[in-house]
């Protein structure tokens, strides 16, 4: 019997013959290249050790420094021959992560998984609950919740082509994890369950009834009765790699799951010759939306520019029509307020950690004019309301990091915007202080520092380390865990 790793390799090599399946080569031939092991973009960081990783994926993340704990999380899946960095650079999602306040995770598959770096949407060993790549992606979500304080009730997944096919599979297998999804030039959930069937789905899925398509979702997580994810479907009418019939099947599948008809509640003309069709639930809230882009081929719609509804950059399979990330984010409600958000008072400035013990963390912030009270959030959860501009949070665990943000409220109780988050690490614990000497680039990559305005800053203390590049070398001391201070020119683990 072959070892599991060898079986996986042989299965992937064999799939090369079928990797017209969303290889994205039929309509737009490009050289197939292995996804890079490290991103070129400074803001995108690789994360290791996020779980057992049964699917052998890589995890990359973009976490804006201004995002408070308890913010939404968006998982974005690239297409074949692409990488996490390509999606980070061109899809437009980072613009709205900065603007609306949420974290981004970019899973990456490589030629080690598939000769053309496609997600295995067609392989039950990769695309079903608790298995393979799907399980790895859910482990990334769990890591983000624990590390960034992401709100587990507002986790969304989006993907292009093979990434879109995996998106549909994830929504079906994990409706308890994902509140919504967006499938761009992708396939219905469980359209194919073998390599041989993949190309057939791509060029024209089976002619199933909405109920039969819906059963493929319901069978992916038996016993689940809702709530179901809200799903956006993007498709070009001139896509000859993933035919438009797939968008119809996706619509039939998810409207049936929601128990609503296949006749739209409303339609709307958008820029880029795009028609938006809305399928509302019983309460009148959009449950499924389709976006049909006239004349567009195979790719993700983007609209480069500085306008409020523009985003992204054109590249292979990023096509200049309209900003799909903007419209998808609005559909999910990402433009609405995050915990502590609001349209009233501004966010408190100057939030900082003024002290810690082994069981407490003390905070202070600048007063907001017109504020009657302030709400303190720890890891996204409300922990206190105070009229003061300081607070000491007690009952904490020694040697543990916590993420805090604060919002202000007026005399009527209307909440304002949430502040930027800070991290407080309690003292104590058994781990000794450690010293690290590396370039500023390496410190950021390892998570010991973060970037802002072209400089690197020590995580925890916020000390300016100088320019973010590979030429500046600094020494950092970690004590307590997760809190780093500059310790040049020499570092003594026992020093304070």
| pLDDT above 50 (res 7) | no
- In the prediction, which pLDDT does 58 show? 97
| pLDDT above 70 (res 36) | no
Confidence of residue 13 (pLDDT cuts 50, 70, 90): very low
Residue 342 CB: number of other CB atoms within 10 A?
Answer: 18
Give domain status of residue 492, yes or no: no
Q: Catalytic site residue 161?
A: yes
Q: Compute the average pLDDT of residues 311-338.
A: 90
Same domain, 200 and 154: yes
76: nearest Cα among 166, 147, 190, 177 = 166
Confidence of residue 332 (pLDDT cuts 50, 70, 90): very high
Same domain, 276 and 401: no
Same domain, 250 and 397: no
Confidence of residue 31 (pLDDT cuts 50, 70, 90): very low
Same domain, 239 and 292: yes
Number of domains in the chain: 3
Same domain, 369 and 250: no
- In the prediction, which pLDDT does 489 show? 64
Give domain status of residue 359, yes or no: yes
Same domain, 105 and 209: yes
Give domain status of residue 270, yes or no: yes
| pLDDT above 50 (res 1) | no
| pLDDT above 70 (res 476) | yes
What is the spatial distance between Cα 197 and Cα 188, in angstroms, rounded to a whole number?
Answer: 13
Domain that holds residue 465: 434-486
pTM of the predicted protein model = 0.64
Average pLDDT, the chain: 85
- Among residues 276, 303, 332, the one where a domain terminates is 332
Q: Compute the average pLDDT of residues 129-133.
A: 97
| pLDDT above 60 (res 494) | no
Q: What are phi and psi of 147, to 5 degrees?
A: -95, -45
- In the prediction, which pLDDT does 24 show? 35
Confidence of residue 212 (pLDDT cuts 50, 70, 90): very high
Same domain, 304 and 420: no
- Among residues 401, 425, 449, the one where a domain terminates is 425
- Among residues 282, 304, 332, the one where a domain terminates is 332
- In the prediction, which pLDDT does 420 show? 66
- How does pLDDT run across 363-400, given as a tens digit for each residue? 999 998 888 999 898 866 788 999 999 999 999 988 78
- How does pLDDT run across 38-94, given as a tens digit for each residue? 333 348 999 999 999 999 999 999 999 878 888 999 999 999 999 999 999 999 999
Same domain, 84 and 173: yes
- How does pLDDT run across 160-182, given as a tens digit for each residue? 999 999 999 999 999 999 999 99
Confidence of residue 19 (pLDDT cuts 50, 70, 90): very low
- How does pLDDT run across 222-256, given as a tens digit for each residue? 999 889 999 999 999 999 999 999 999 999 999 99
Q: Compute the average pLDDT of residues 447-468.
A: 83
- In the prediction, which pLDDT does 408 show? 87
- How does pLDDT run across 399-433, given as a tens digit for each residue? 787 878 888 888 877 777 667 667 788 887 655 56
- In the prediction, which pLDDT does 205 show? 85
Q: Which residues partner with 183 through β-bridges?
A: 159, 233
Annotated catalytic residue within 91, 127, 136, 161: 161
- How does pLDDT run across 337-358, given as a tens digit for each residue? 433 333 457 778 888 999 999 8
- In the prediction, which pLDDT does 4 show? 34
Identify which has the larger pLDDT, 338 or 463.
463
Same domain, 373 and 253: no
| pLDDT above 60 (res 34) | no
Same domain, 418 and 481: no
| pLDDT above 50 (res 14) | no
- How does pLDDT run across 254-310, given as a tens digit for each residue? 999 999 999 999 999 999 999 999 998 877 889 999 999 999 999 999 999 999 899
Give domain status of residue 494, yes or no: no
347: nearest Cα among 419, 263, 257, 420 = 419
Contact 143, 129 (CB under 8 A): no
What's the CATH code of the domain at 60? 3.40.50.1820
Q: Which residues of 258-279 are buried (b: 16+ CB within 10 A; e: fewer)?
A: bebeeebbeeeebebebebbbb
Give domain status of residue 235, yes or no: yes
- In the prediction, which pLDDT does 145 show? 95
Tokens read off for 355: 């002290």
Give domain status of residue 78, yes or no: yes
Please list the alpha-helical segments (H only) found in 124-244: 124-127, 132-148, 162-173, 195-203, 210-218
- In the prediction, which pLDDT does 432 show? 56
Please list the alpha-helical segments (H only) found in 45-131: 84-90, 93-96, 124-127
Give domain status of residue 337, yes or no: no
Same domain, 409 and 438: no
Contact 106, 84 (CB under 8 A): yes
Same domain, 310 and 399: no
Q: Radius of gyration over alpha carbons of the chain, in Å?
A: 23
- Residue 177 CB contacts under 8 Å (≥ 6 apart), including other chains: 138, 141, 152, 155, 170
Give domain status of residue 493, yes or no: no
What's the CATH code of the domain at 421? 2.60.40.10
Contact 408, 462 (CB under 8 A): no
Tokens read off for 178: 């994902």
């Amino acid at each position: 019997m072959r070892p599991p790793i060898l079986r996986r390799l042989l299965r992937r090599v064999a799939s090369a013959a079928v990797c017209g399946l969303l290889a994205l080569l039929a309509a737009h031939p490009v050289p197939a290249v292995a996804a890079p092991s490290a991103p070129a973009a400074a803001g995108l960081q690789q994360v290791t050790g996020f779980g057992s990783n049964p699917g052998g994926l890589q995890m990359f993340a973009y976490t804006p420094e201004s995002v408070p704990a308890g913010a939404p999380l968006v998982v974005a899946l690239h297409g074949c021959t692409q990488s996490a960095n390509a999606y980070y650079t061109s899809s437009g999602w980072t613009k709205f992560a900065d603007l609306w306040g949420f974290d981004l995770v970019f899973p990456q598959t490589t030629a080690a998984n598939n000769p053309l770096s496609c997600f295995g949407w067609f392989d039950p060993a990769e695309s079903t609950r608790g298995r393979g790549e799907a399980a790895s992606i859910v482990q990334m979500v769990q890591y983000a919740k624990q590390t960034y304080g992401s709100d587990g009730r507002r986790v969304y997944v989006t993907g292009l082509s093979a990434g879109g096919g995996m998106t549909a599979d994830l929504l079906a297998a994990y409706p308890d994890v994902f509140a919504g999804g967006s499938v761009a030039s992708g396939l219905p959930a469980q359209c194919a369950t073998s390599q041989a069937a993949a190309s057939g789905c791509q060029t024209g899925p089976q002619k199933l009834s909405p109920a039969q398509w819906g059963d493929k979702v319901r069978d992916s997580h038996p016993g689940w009765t809702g709530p179901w994810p809200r799903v956006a479907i993007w498709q070009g009418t001139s896509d000859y790699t993933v035919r438009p019939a797939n968008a119809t099947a996706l619509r039939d599948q998810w409207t049936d799951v929601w128990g609503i008809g296949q006749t739209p509640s409303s339609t709307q003309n958008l820029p880029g010759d795009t028609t938006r069709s809305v399928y509302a639930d019983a309460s009148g809230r959009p449950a499924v939306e389709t976006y049909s882009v006239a004349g567009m081929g195979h790719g993700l719609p983007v609209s480069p520019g500085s306008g409020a509804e523009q985003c992204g950059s054109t590249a292979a399979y990023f096509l200049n029509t309209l900003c799909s990330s903007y419209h998808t984010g609005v559909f999910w409600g990402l433009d609405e307020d995050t915990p502590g958000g609001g349209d009233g008072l501004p966010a408190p400035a100057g939030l900082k950690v003024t002290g810690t013990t082994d069981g407490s963390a003390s905070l202070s912030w600048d007063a907001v004019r017109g504020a009657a009270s302030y709400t303190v959030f720890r890891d996204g959860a409300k922990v206190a309301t105070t009229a003061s501009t300081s607070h000491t949070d007690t009952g904490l665990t020694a040697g543990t990091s916590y993420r805090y943000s604060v919002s202000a409220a007026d005399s009527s109780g209307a909440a304002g915007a949430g502040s930027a988050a800070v991290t407080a690490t309690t003292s104590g614990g058994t781990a000794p202080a450690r010293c690290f000497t590396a370039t500023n680039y390496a410190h950021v990559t390892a998570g010991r520092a973060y970037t802002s305005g072209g400089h690197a800053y020590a995580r925890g203390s916020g000390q300016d380390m100088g320019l973010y590049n590979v030429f500046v070398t600094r020494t950092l001391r970690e004590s307590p865990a997760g809190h780093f201070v500059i310790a040049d020119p020499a570092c003594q683990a026992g020093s304070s």
